[in-house]
Chains A and B, each alone.
Chain A
Amino acid sequence: MELFINQVLAGIATGAIYACMALAVVMIYQAIDHLNFAQGEMAMFSTFIAWQLMQWGVPYWWAFLITLVFSFAGGIVIERMLFKPLAKAPVLTNVAGFIALFAIVNSVAGLTWDFTIKPFPTPFGSSPFLGSQLISTHQAGMIGVTVGLLILLYLFFQFTRIGLAMRAAAALPESARLVGINTSWMIALGWGMASAIGAIAGILIAPVVFLEPNMMGGVLIYGFAAAVLGGLTSPLGAVVGGFLVGVFENLAGTYIPGVGNELKLPIALALIITVLVLKPAGLFGRPIVKRV
C-alpha cells in the first residue's frame, strides 16, 4: 500500500510538470491551431538561462524571475518574427517552422552550454517532506508551485479584462476584432505566457532529469499525451490530463510486469493513439465542427 501511495504522489509531482507543458501547448494550439513541437526546447533553453544566471551568482528566486521575464519576451519575439508571417501559410509550412525552431534552439543550447549533463539546484531540498518517506520536499515543491501557477492563471483568464480578451480572440478571432480586440497581439501574448509556463516546468523538472539540451524531449511527449487525453481545446483538460498521465505512467512502470523505466515512453505514445481512436476530442474537449 505504501508503495502504491508513494507512486501516486510521485506521479502527481511529475504530472504537475506534464500539466504545465500540456497547458503551454494548448494555449498556443487554441490561438493558432498548431502544435508547438518546439515547446520543450524553448523550456529547456529557459532552464539553461536560469542555470547560467545562477552560475554568475544570481540567487535562485531572482534567477527564476529573470528567466520568466526573459522567456515571456522570447516567446513574443518568436511569434512576431517566425509565426506571425506564417499565419496564413499552409499547415505543413507551419510544421516546418516548428521543426526549424526545435533544431535551432537545441543546437544553440548545445553550442553555448555543450551536451554534458549538469546538475540543477532545487530551492526545496530533497529531504523527506514533513518527515514522511512518501514524497520529497522537491516533489512537494513541484506540486505547490504548479498549483499556485494554475490558480493564478485561472484568476487571470476569468477575472481580468485582458484575460477575457485573450479568451475571446482564441475562441472567435473575427468577432473579437469586431469588438475592437487586437487579436494579433493577443496571440503574441499567448506565446509569451506559454513560453513562461514552459520555463517554470523546465526549472522544476531539471533537478530530476538533470540539465542538458535534450532534457525536455520525453517530458514534451508526456505533455502532448496529457493535452490529447484532456482535449486540445480545453486548458482545464490539459491540466487534468497532465496529472492523470503522470500517475498512470508511474503506476504502469511499477505494476505492469516488463514495463519498468525503459518502456514508460511507449506507454505515453500508446495513450495518445488510444485516445485519438476512441475519443478524439479528449476527456474535456469539444468536438471541432468546422463550417465549410
Chain B
Amino acid sequence: MTAMLNIKDLRAYYGQVQALHGLEFGLNEGSLTTLLGANGAGKTTTLRAICNMVRSTGSIEFDGASLTGRSTENIVRLGIAHVPQGRGTFTTMTVEENLQLGAITRKDRAGVTSDIERMYDHFPVLKERHTQQAGTLSGGEQQMLAVARALMLRPRLMLLDEPSFGLAPLIVRDLFKILGKINREDKVTILVVEQNAQLALELADKAYVIETGRIVMSGSAAEIANNEDVRKSYLGY
C-alpha cells in the first residue's frame, strides 16, 4: 500500500539553524497518526515544512505529487488542512465568519452552508456563539472552532499542532473523541503532533517518536505505548 503522504530526507532550517535532520515517514490514507517528542524535537517544524512555511529540502509527496516549491495556499488547496499551534483563530471576526474562511477556496456554496450546519452539530457550542467574536471564546471553544474551520475545507489530510495545549483534561478528552469520530466517519487522514503522549497514543493507530529532528522510533500506537524503554526515555511518563 503506497502512503498518502510520503516524506523523505526532510531537512528544515531557521536561518542558519537546522531543525530537522533527514526526517522520513509516511501516512497511510485513513490513518490517524501521532508524532510524539519532547519540546524542541522538531514536531511543529515538521508540520510547518509540509505546508512550506519554513525553508526545507528533501521530498514531500502527497498522493504521488511533490509539494516542493508550492506556496502554502496552494498546498492547502490540495486538501491539506493545518490547525497551527496557537490555533490561528481570526479573533476579530465572528465564529461563523471563521467557518466561512475555512471554506473560502470552495466554490459549492450550498455545500458550504450545509457543512456549517454539520459543524454546529459536531460542536453545538459554536452554534450558540455563531455571531460572537471568536476572540471572546474560551480556549477549548477556540480549539473546537479551529478544528471545525479546518474541516470546512473538506480536507483529505488534517494536520494538528498540539490541540491539547492549554486545555483542561476533560476538554482534551472531548476533543480527541471528536477527532477519532472525524477520522472514522469522514475518512479524514489525521496527523496529530502532541506532547501529551499518553492521550495521543490512546487515540492514534500509529505513532512516530521524534528526537532532535530525526525519527527514532515508529510502530503501532499500542506497541509504542507498551514499550517501557520508549516511554521512559522519550515520552516521560
Residues of A within 8 A of B53 (CB): 174, 177
Are B88's CB and A174's CB within 8 A? Answer: yes
CB B49 to nearest CB in A, in angstroms, measures 14
Residues of A within 8 A of B93 (CB): 167-168, 171
Q: Which of A167, A171, A172, A177 contacts B72 (CB 8 A)?
A: A177
Chain A, 145-185, contact with B by CB distance < 8 Å: what is the 0/1 string? 00000000000000001001101100110111111111100
Majority SS of interface residues in chain A? helix
Are B51's CB and A178's CB within 8 A? Answer: yes
* Shortest Cβ distance from A178 into B: residue: B82
With A178-B76, A182-B73 as known contacts, state yes or no: A171 contacts B84, CB within 8 Å.
Answer: no
Are A179's CB and B153's CB within 8 A? Answer: yes
* Shortest Cβ distance from A158 into B: residue: B97
Are A181's CB and B73's CB within 8 A? Answer: yes
* Shortest Cβ distance from B103 into A: residue: A179
From 76 to 90 in chain B, residues with beta carbon under 8 angstroms from any chain A beta carbon are 76-77, 81-82, 84, 88-90
CB A109 to nearest CB in B, in angstroms, measures 37
B149 within 8 A of A: yes
* Shortest Cβ distance from A183 into B: residue: B73
Residues of B within 8 A of A164 (CB): 97, 100-101, 104
Residues of A within 8 A of B92 (CB): 171
* Shortest Cβ distance from B112 into A: residue: A161
Are B90's CB and A175's CB within 8 A? Answer: yes
Are A179's CB and B105's CB within 8 A? Answer: yes
Cα(A165)–Cα(B149), bound, Å: 14
* Shortest Cβ distance from B92 into A: residue: A171
CB B14 to nearest CB in A, in angstroms, measures 15
Cα(A237)–Cα(B100), bound, Å: 26
Residues of A within 8 A of B149 (CB): 179
CB B76 to nearest CB in A, in angstroms, measures 4
Chain B, 94-125, contact with A by CB distance < 8 Å: what is the 0/1 string? 00010011101100000000000000000000
Residues of A within 8 A of B77 (CB): 180
10 A-B residue pairs with CB within 8 Å: A161-B100, A168-B93, A171-B90, A171-B93, A174-B84, A175-B88, A177-B76, A178-B76, A179-B102, A179-B104
In the A-B complex, list the 6 residue pairs whose CB atoms are closest, starting with the nearest: A175-B88, A180-B105, A180-B76, A177-B72, A180-B77, A177-B73
